[in-house]
Amino acid sequence: MKKHTLALSFALSVATFGASSAALAQDASIGAGLGATALSDEGETVWRPTLRLDATLGLVGPLEGGAYLQVVGSELPLANPGLGAGLFVAVRPSIPFLGAVRPIGEASIGRHALPSESQGTSDAWAAALGVGLGIEVNPVVQLEGRVHHAWLLGLEEGSGLDESAWTVTAGLRIGL
């Protein structure tokens, strides 16, 4: 029994390594986007400057997985920045009749420090869904625009922030 368990564990490890190596050999990209995050702070909607960086690996077909880093400031040039990071899955299918336009669908989860009038910054978990469009400039470069809705979970008491936020970004994606 112990030998079978070890053999199965070894086989699963080799399969996982092989699958991740195949994913690394497929599409990988990095992206950067600038935009704004709409937060309800103390009952008033405020737009905060946002910078988002991400890296993706192709998984299966148009499905990608990746990690992101996001900075949200209280005002330009990213004053009182709050840092966030997380993981996401995205679908970026290439649909022949759309030509160079590629739709984007994304789901993410992460931890963020968000600017707050009452506390300076307030920490929260964020679960988000997003949609967007990408335009292929050439096979390596893509221009992207995205909109995300995030549910902010576990906000600190007295933060003054609402439990949801919208982020709008436009940027560039480069295939590796």
Q: Does the pLDDT of residue 119 top 80, yes or no?
A: no
- The tokens of 4 are what? 């079978």
**Long-range Cβ contacts of 41-44 (<8 Å, 24+ apart):** 41/115, 41/116, 41/117, 41/160, 41/161, 41/162, 42/117, 42/118, 42/160, 43/160
Average pLDDT over residues 142-151: 96
Architecture of domain 27-175: Beta Barrel (2.40)
User: Strand pairing partners for 104?
Assistant: 132
Average pLDDT over residues 27-32: 94
| Domain layout of the chain by residue ranges | 27-175
pLDDT tens, 38-88?
888 777 888 889 999 999 999 999 999 999 999 998 777 777 788 999 999
Average pLDDT over residues 15-35: 68
The pLDDT value given to residue 34: 95
